Amino acid sequence: MYHRQDIALAVQDRAGGDVLNLVVPAYRQGALAIHKDLDSPSLYTVSHINSGLAILDGLSLHNAHRVVKRACTLDIDWTQTADAIAALPEDYRHGIGRALKAALS
């Protein structure tokens, strides 16, 4: 079940410039949230709440729900901090991304 909540995001502009700290309305499930994409409001982004970082962006609302549902089935402690997730081996982190993108096929 999703809960409506404002979440803080750390967003870097597409040009790779400054990181902005924003608060946006979102729907939260566990440690993940779905919110409108900041560059394309007709699309959605799935973000990790503890870090404020995007996991996948440019999704339809339906696909964002599918990604969150798949993420909840993976053996990942999403309550970890951004530093703990960044400390995971790179191939493991890439595997997470591949597993989540597989939910879209």
Under 8 Å between Cβ of 19 and 9: no
Domain count of the chain? 1
pLDDT at 14: 61
Q: Give per-residue pLDDT as tens, 90-104.
A: 677 667 777 777 777
Q: Give per-residue pLDDT as tens, 41-73.
A: 899 988 888 777 778 888 999 999 998 888 888
Does 13 have pLDDT greater than 80? no
Q: Which domain range does residue 45 map to?
A: 3-102
pLDDT at 71: 84
pLDDT at 34: 92
